[in-house]
Amino acid sequence: MKLVDKNITEERAKYFQDQNLMDFLVPIISVIAGLIVGAIFMMIIGSDPIEAYKVLWSASFGSIRGFSEMIVNTIPLIFTGMAVAFAFRVGLFNIGGDGQFLVAYMASAYIGYIFQLPMIIHLPLAVLAGILAGGVWGGFAGLLKAKLGIHEVITTIMMNYIALYLVGYLASGPLKAEGPLPATPKIFETAKLPRFLPTMRIHYGIFIAIAVAFLIYYILWKTSFGYEIRATGLNPDAAEFGGISVAKNMLLAMFISGALAGLAGTSQALGLEYRAYQPFGFIGYGFTGIAVALVGKNHPFGVVLGALLFGILSRGAMMMQSMVGVPKEVVEIIQAIIIMFVASEYIFKYISRKMQERKGGLVDAN
């Protein structure tokens, strides 16, 4: 009797494990599907997809410079993707990555040029300024959600515009450097994220990004704080039952999410541009971060892979346009297809469920 029980529970457990396997397979299938659809489009407009995909590949992996540029594209996406993923773990949708990016961008640049300190103090301080600025920007939306129940999607979008005009005002007004450029003064050498390959733009931001991925993984799965975050995201009622303050965790998670998106701005200011320019619109790292998190299944390591994918695609888009004459919009189509496929994972699950049902269906045995 007990043996039978065991077999049944094992089979049920296996069924759910298969579902977890789907989580892993869906992004991969989606990427392949995106590439196939992209190829069809290229054939329609008369280009050779094989040639184009060769260029797409070699743009990032054909030369060290290409690789460096691809990583430069990838760094901010790791941070903004991580930001979306982390907020999602507590059940919130942070679409304010662009605003958090901008305030951190300005804060880091400001600390970078306002005084000079030994690098060992100056650089961490400038990074910290970005973390705090992004954190406060995201945390404010978290506060409004936790205390007043105002939906975070609304507030983070609005905070994006506040950040856009605030940073624009600062860069072209009070903090503007002498000269024609609408930008802050250049930051001191001591605040720069060092570049480590001669003449290449790849910088230490990539190591921070990878370290952050490990840190987020550690927080989520190895600490009681991460436990609370995940419990809140998966079942706020049960979290409450376990004495976990849902409001507190939402606030904290949004602060951390904002800080992560802020690191993207920080690496832009301290690793690439060495000053803060007046923004004329959103660069879109925050929004692409949503796609990255989606493809990465909200897992820190998945986010790194997802950011890499989008980094490769955006680098390849430019080269495909200039070398094979494939408009870069085709790459955008590929990206869109991938996102659609991942987002419509429900359809995959629905189909697999239907196939199960043919054999018997899934109904809770109790």
Partner 1 sequence: MAASNNLAVEMKGITKKFPGVIANDNVDFELEKGEIHALLGENGAGKTTLMNCLYGFLKADEGDILIDGKKVDITNPNVAIKHGIGMVHQHFMLVPPFTVTENIVLGMEPTKNSMIDYKTANKKVEEISKQYGLNVDPKAKVEDISVGMQQRVEILKTLYRGADILILDEPTAVLTPQEVEELVSIMESLTNEGKSIIFITHKLKEVKAIADRVTVIRSGKVINTIDTDSATTNELANMMVGREVILEVNKQKANPGDIVLEVEDLYAKNSRDLMALNGTTFSVKEGEILGIAGVDGNGQTELSEVLTGLRKKEKGTIRFKGREIKSPQTKRLFEEGISHIPEDRQRRGLVMDFKLYENLILGRHHKKPYVKGWSLDNKKIKEEARRLIKEFDVRTPSENVEAKSLSGGNQQKLIVAREFDRNPDLLVAAQPTRGIDVGAIEYIHNKLIEQRDAGKAILLISLELDEILALSDRIAVIYEGKIVDILDREDATEEKLGLMMAGAESEEVEGGNEVG
317 and 48 Cβ atoms separated by less than 8 Å: no
Q: Which of 235, 325, 350, 351 binds partner 1 (CB under 8 A)?
A: 235
Q: Which of 129, 159, 183, 239 binds partner 1 (CB under 8 A)?
A: 239
Among the listed ranges 86-94, 115-123, 182-190, 236-244, the one in contact with partner 1 (CB under 8 A) is: 236-244
Among the listed ranges 95-103, 181-189, 229-237, 299-307, the one in contact with partner 1 (CB under 8 A) is: 229-237
Residue 245 makes contact with partner 1 by CB under 8 A: yes
Reduce the secondary structure of 230-251 to three states and give it as a string: HHHHHCHHHHHHCCCCHHHHHH
Q: Is 350 helix (H, G, I), strand (E, B) or coil?
A: helix
Q: Which of 234, 284, 351, 354 binds partner 1 (CB under 8 A)?
A: 234
Nearer Cβ to partner 1, position 24 or 165? 24
Angle at which helices 2-44 and 300-323 pack, to 10 degrees?
A: 20
Q: Which of 46, 237, 281, 346 binds partner 1 (CB under 8 A)?
A: 237
Q: Which of 48, 240, 273, 332 binds partner 1 (CB under 8 A)?
A: 240
Q: Is 293 helix (H, G, I), strand (E, B) or coil?
A: helix
Residue 45 makes contact with partner 1 by CB under 8 A: no
345 and 339 Cβ atoms separated by less than 8 Å: no
Residue 360 makes contact with partner 1 by CB under 8 A: yes
Within 125-184, which residues bind partner 1 (CB under 8 A)? none
Query: Exposed/middle/buried for 238, CB within 10 Å: 0-12, 13-18, 19+?
Result: exposed
Partners of 203 in beta bridges: 195
Of 28, 35, 26, 29, the residue nearest 345 (C-alpha): 26
**Residues near 362 by beta carbon (within 8 Å), at least 6 away in sequence:** 15, 353, 356
Residue 196 makes contact with partner 1 by CB under 8 A: no
DSSP secondary structure letter of residue 203: B
Within 56-85, which residues bind partner 1 (CB under 8 A)? none
Q: Which of 10, 36, 116, 196 binds partner 1 (CB under 8 A)?
A: 10
Q: Which of 16, 115, 165, 169 binds partner 1 (CB under 8 A)?
A: 16
- Give the interface size with partner 1 as a residue count (CB under 8 A): 42
Residue 211 makes contact with partner 1 by CB under 8 A: no
Residue 13 makes contact with partner 1 by CB under 8 A: yes
Round to whole Å and give the CA distance between 170 and 78: 27
Nearer Cβ to partner 1, position 11 or 178? 11
Round to whole Å and give the CA distance between 300 and 317: 26
Round to whole Å and give the CA distance between 353 and 133: 45
Under the rule (CB under 8 A), what is the footprint of partner 1?
1-2, 4-6, 8-16, 218, 222-224, 227-228, 230-231, 234-235, 237-245, 356, 359-366
